[in-house]
Each structure stands twice: as structure tokens, then as C-alpha cells.
């Protein structure tokens, strides 16, 4: 918990500064900013499928991925989700996604057996992780699946259940326009280097740890 540290203020428009500008100065300033922004968008013209990594010890790695899954489904794309650690789909997520599961747009496979401290059998964990990866590869190779979410795969790599070299080689089999998301804390450096979009979610404050509040429906599951 880092309550007293101060946080980034990346905006170039400081509040105090804006308050001293006349309305016309403000308008001009914002106009210049819009020109820069428009140019930046115009310059970014390359269309390609992305390799996305959500890592870090904070919340939101899987949750943000589910948001991306939802957008892809909204676009009418086919999506596959492979869960490497969990052995079942959260009931609320299952219910929320049931429409797309039923209409054939979404494939879901929970191929883990809980976290490793639940199973206490390393050989079995390795076997499960390999099976999940093989299933993931099927979807990665299939051009129809515009988005493949490999949920918690980074943990499987980190625990030594999957070799990162094998995963990196598999990512190269992705059709040009398709996306892959890899989640889990402790993403290996070589994966970060290969990825196009990498976000680190950091925990600043957590009720579970700091205040003995239990996991809440609608937020954590």
C-alpha cells in the first residue's frame, strides 16, 4: 500500500494554468492540442493484429481482457478464451457471455485445476498446462478466431509448466489480422519484447489485504 505517494499527472493542461487563461486563450490552446492529436491519429495507419500482454500484481488483467472480448463480440468477431489456471467458468461470467456461447461466436475452455497450491501435483499441472496450450494453438492458427485470450498463461510459464520459447513460437503462427491476449503476473521479458501492447496493472490499495473485506460479487467474480 502506497497511500502517501503522489501520482502521475501526465496532462499538459494543469488546472491552475487553465484557470488563468482567457476564454480565447483556452480555445486556442485546445485547438493546437487538437491539431497535434489529429496528426498523430493520421500518422498511425498500420492495421495489424496485436499481441497484448496484461501483467503486474494488480487487479484488472483478466477483467480488462474480458472487456476486450466483449468489444470483439460486439463487432461480430469470433473469440476463444482458454483459462490456464481456473478449472471452471465464474457463474456470472458464464451467464453474461451465454448469448455468444449459444450463437457460436464464443468458445470457452477452462483447462486448469485451480492454482498450484490447490492441486499439489506438479506433473499433473504440467500436463494440464500443455493441454491448454495445445487447445490455444488450435484457435491461434484458425483465421476465423479474430481474438484468442490465453488467460493466466503467464503464471503457467512462470511456474515452469510451459516453456516461453514454445509460446513465442506459437504466437508467430497467428494470422496477420488477428489478436492474442496473454494475461497473468510476472510476464517474462522475452514475451514483453515480442508483444505490441503491454500494460502493467499495479496494486495501490486492496480491500482483501488491507481491510479484511472478502471478494465481492460483481467486482472480483
Q: Which of residues 71-130 bind a second copy (CB under 8 A)?
A: 71-75, 77, 90-97, 99, 115-123
Q: Would you count residue 147 as binding a second copy (CB under 8 A)?
A: yes
Q: Would you count residue 172 as binding a second copy (CB under 8 A)?
A: no
**48 vs 166, beta carbon nearer a second copy:** 48
Q: 52 pairs with which residues across the strands? A: 181, 197
Catalytic residues: 57, 59, 61-63, 71, 115, 117, 152
Q: Would you count residue 63 as binding a second copy (CB under 8 A)?
A: yes
Q: Would you count residue 20 as binding a second copy (CB under 8 A)?
A: no
Candidates 34-42, 80-88, 130-138, 167-175: pick the segment binding a second copy (CB under 8 A).
Answer: 34-42
| Residue 13 exposure: Cα atoms within 13 Å on the Cβ side | 13
Q: How far apart are CA 59 and CA 52, in angstroms?
A: 16
Among 131, 168, 171, 201, binds a second copy (CB under 8 A): 201
User: Among 123, 111, 183, which Cα is nearest to 152's?
Assistant: 183
Least Å from the CB of residue 114 to a second copy: 9
Q: What is the sign of the dihedral through the CA atoms of 82, 86, 87 and 90? A: negative
Q: Would you count residue 134 as binding a second copy (CB under 8 A)?
A: no
Candidates 80-88, 132-140, 168-176, 183-191: pick the segment binding a second copy (CB under 8 A).
Answer: 183-191
Candidates 29-37, 80-88, 130-138, 166-174: pick the segment binding a second copy (CB under 8 A).
Answer: 29-37
Q: Would you count residue 131 as binding a second copy (CB under 8 A)?
A: no
Q: Would you count residue 67 as binding a second copy (CB under 8 A)?
A: yes
The answer for residues whose C-beta is within 8 angstroms of residue 55's C-beta and 6 or more apart is 61, 154, 183, 184, 185, 186, 187, 192, 198, 199, 200, 201
Candidates 22-30, 80-88, 134-142, 168-176: pick the segment binding a second copy (CB under 8 A).
Answer: 22-30
Q: How far apart are CA 83 and CA 133, in angstroms?
A: 10
Task: Check: CB of residue 178 under 8 Å from CB of residue 208.
Answer: no
**63 vs 135, beta carbon nearer a second copy:** 63
Judging by DSSP bridges, how do beta strands 51-55 and 179-183 pair with one another?
parallel
**Phi-psi bin for 115: left (phi > 0), alpha (psi -120 to 50), beta?**
beta
Amino acid at each position: 500500500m502506497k497511500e502517501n505517494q503522489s501520482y502521475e499527472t501526465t496532462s499538459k493542461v494543469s488546472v491552475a494554468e487553465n484557470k488563468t487563461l482567457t476564454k480565447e486563450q483556452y480555445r486556442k490552446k485546445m485547438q493546437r492540442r487538437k491539431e497535434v492529436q489529429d496528426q498523430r491519429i493520421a500518422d498511425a495507419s498500420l492495421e495489424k493484429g496485436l499481441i497484448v500482454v496484461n501483467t503486474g500484481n494488480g487487479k484488472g488483467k483478466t477483467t480488462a481482457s474480458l472487456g476486450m472480448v466483449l468489444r470483439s463480440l460486439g463487432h461480430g468477431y469470433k473469440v476463444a478464451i482458454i483459462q490456464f489456471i481456473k478449472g471452471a467458468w465464474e457463474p456470472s461470467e458464464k451467464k453474461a457471455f451465454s448469448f455468444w456461447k449459444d450463437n457460436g461466436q464464443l468458445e470457452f475452455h477452462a483447462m486448469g485445476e485451480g492454482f498450484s497450491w490447490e492441486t499439489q501435483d506438479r506433473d499433473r499441472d504440467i500436463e494440464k498446462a500443455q493441454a491448454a496450450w495445445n487447445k490455444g494453438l488450435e484457435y491461434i492458427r484458425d483465421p476465423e478466431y479474430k481474438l484468442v485470450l490465453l488467460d493466466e498463461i503467464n503464471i503457467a510459464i512462470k511456474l515452469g509448466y510451459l516453456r516461453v520459447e514454445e509460446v513465442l513460437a506459437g504466437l508467430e503462427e497467428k494470422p496477420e489480422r488477428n489478436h492474442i491476449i496473454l494475461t497473468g503476473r510476472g510476464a517474462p521479458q522475452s514475451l514483453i519484447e515480442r508483444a505490441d501492447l503491454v500494460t502493467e496493472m499495479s496494486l495501490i490499495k486492496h480491500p482483501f489485504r488491507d481491510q479484511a473485506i472478502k471478494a465481492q460479487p460483481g467486482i472480483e467474480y
